[in-house]
Structure 1
């Protein structure tokens, strides 16, 4: 992925990618309990305000997982008419419900624009929740909205390599898979399929 991705784009993709293939043909979830969510948030100090002090509870975990379902539904809509991730086929809420969930989550915390301008850097605007307690779900939802309404969304694709359930941003015209290893698995699967037909 490009280093030039916005914080919002990276955060939106990172949330969707907490659903991944488990290496054995199944689907794994990186957000299985509050401790896993706490670790995930703390690993993103540039994207999530007060990440270092964040500790998840069961309610926050449930809200983030509900938001992730909406995000993956909207990612599936964004890649249409191509097929969604195989982890999502037939398991996602309708787009209208996903939009309502996303917008409701984004509204949980009023926010204001804050300008940062470090030495030798360009000025950057980011949204900062107002008040004391940072609302993780709102921060995530607002990042997803910025991504889906932004310039990177048209490059969003679902990887259709065997066992892969990831979404990715297409970096060049011939890119079909999220990673080279997925391309290798897809080529091997095609090779076996061709030779099975001649056997």
Structure 2
């Protein structure tokens, strides 16, 4: 029952997924330096106008990382009562601070409403950025607001496979893991736990 998600929801989820397991039991950060943010933005051209020419600096990196911490804290709230991602569990921002960071960032990019009414569909509201207002953190914050207030928030889950720190959208009722390899790792870990020799 996988349905497509809009670009805002995808952008918000992809921002959260810049924190991931490194394959060795640790956590990797795709936004560890300005070059990482530059590469990420260029791979997400919907984030800002002229993304192909975007070059991050230290200030942009700090702002996006602060916003990502807020988004991941709010994702952790969205998956309650389930546990948050293990990458966040010990260092989650308090929800009021996460909301303040997100809303403050979102307010930096003013938008104007536009009515879109295709011939074969209901009218829709689209918010377009005011010309020249292309602040990256504002665009990402608005994408996160759209995701958290949209229908896909209820499908959001934290993957609890060994070493995984990702959030994912549940596509079918029996899905427990973000991808098949995580399911395999979880089954192997459960098998080893059940068959572990009792200690002497």
1:114–1:61: structure 2 CA closer, same or farther, 3 Å change rule?
farther
120-129 or 28-37, larger mean C-alpha shift: 120-129
Normalised TM-score (structure 2): 0.90
Count of residue correspondences: 199
Please provide the CA RMSD for this pair: 2.4
Normalised TM-score (structure 1): 0.91
Partners of 1:14 and 1:122 in 2: how far apart? 29
Q: Tell me, yes or no, if the aligned pair for 2:18 and 2:29 is still in contact at 8 Å.
A: yes
Q: Tell me, yes or no, if the aligned pair for 2:110 and 2:133 is still in contact at 8 Å.
A: no
Q: Tell me, yes or no, if the aligned pair for 2:159 and 2:165 is still in contact at 8 Å.
A: yes
For structure 1, list consecutive stretches of 5 or more residues without a partner in the other structure: none
For structure 2, list consecutive stretches of 5 or more residues without a partner in the other structure: none
1:128–1:60: structure 2 CA closer, same or farther, 3 Å change rule?
farther
Matching residue of 2:177: 177
Matching residue of 1:85: 85
Q: Tell me, yes or no, if the aligned pair for 2:161 and 2:177 is still in contact at 8 Å.
A: yes
Q: Tell me, yes or no, if the aligned pair for 1:79 and 1:158 is still in contact at 8 Å.
A: yes
Partner SS, residue 97 of structure 2: helix
Partners of 2:172 and 2:17 in 1: how far apart? 21
Matching residue of 1:144: 144
Partners of 1:187 and 1:39 in 2: how far apart? 34
Q: Tell me, yes or no, if the aligned pair for 2:19 and 2:28 is still in contact at 8 Å.
A: yes
Query: Residue by residue, what CA displacement relative to the aligned partner does 1:44-100 show, whole Å, maximum 9, x if unpaired?
Result: 123433322322111111000000000000000000110000000020111011001
Matching residue of 1:23: 23
Shift in Å, 1:197: 4.9
